[in-house]
Amino acid sequence: MRTVYLIILNCNNMSVIPELCHSLKEALKNNEYPVDIRFIDQGSTDGSYEFLEEFCSLFNNCVSCTVRRLKKNVGTTKGWNIALKDICNSHTNYVCLINSDMKVSKNFLKPMIDIMENNPKCGMVSNTLRDYTNINFVQNYGPDMSNPWHYRMGIMPVELFNNVKPFQAEWGHMGCTLFRSEVFEDIGLFDENFFIYSCDFDTQFRMKLAGYEIWFCPQSYAQHKTFVTCNELKKNPVIEELCKKDGEYLHWKWGDKVFEWFNYTLTHDVNKNLKAVYGEDFKINEIYS
């Protein structure tokens, strides 16, 4: 049986990381797969590293739960790669990347693993992203059929998805996403020239070229605090500049056609959609305080 490695990056996320840890504790109570949790802390100074140390020392519903401390924020791609270099040597594991500003559902792993088991060419499965405070509002329900580079959003109660079949998608998100470890053996690790943004596009383009399929799983979901982590990071002007350069590098690497798709996706106004739920006076920092 494959081991499922959960990789979670943390950088001064004390406002959100306890909720994620609590949801993982609930989700893994009766889990039927061996799970190994790897936290990578990127120089946190807000007490979140110490919180994770205590959480890992007490958590016993998995094979292993550890936190590795880095001296500084080295970026998303490099942080993921630090964990992946220790995981991918066995060739037969599953790797689940989870953002720190999430809460996972109690049965988030099994539906995604089932897709992997039933579809040998599937290299990546992403799940439904729901709003952190309004579970019926979907931030990401797979690519839009009329434009596969555009996510579907809107009011979609959980029970509506009970009988919706998983489907092969044009691309997926990296918020709560399962990979075969073989993918990284075949295409290489994440391109560390990306700091945070655009690495999801880059990785999935390389997967497609290698013959892997990307699937979407309606039954698995995680709740996401929109923009919270990225907005906090961007308060650092150095990191903000690195984020801006991510799109420029994607353009240079893949050319104009791919960059047109990328820009079209960025025009999807998450703020506008959330206002449709919470009202025109909606402010993200007030909802997620």
Task: Return the top range by mean pLDDT from 95-99, 146-150, 173-177, 194-198.
Answer: 95-99
- Residues 127, 176 contacting (CB under 8 angstroms): yes
- Distance in angstroms (rounded) separating the CA atoms of residues 137 and 131: 6
Task: State the pLDDT at residue 289.
Answer: 36
Topology given in CATH for the domain delimited by 4-287 = Spore Coat Polysaccharide Biosynthesis Protein SpsA; Chain A (3.90.550)
Quick one: average pLDDT of 33-59?
A: 96
Every domain of the chain and the residues it spans = 4-287
What are 104-115's pLDDT values in tens digits? 999 899 999 999
Task: State the pLDDT at residue 20.
Answer: 97
Q: Is the pLDDT of residue 17 over 80?
A: yes
Instruction: Say if residue 39 is exposed, middle or buried (CB neighbours under 10 Å; 0-12, 13-18, 19+).
Output: buried
pTM summary value: 0.85
CA-based nearest residue to 198, from 151, 244, 141: 244
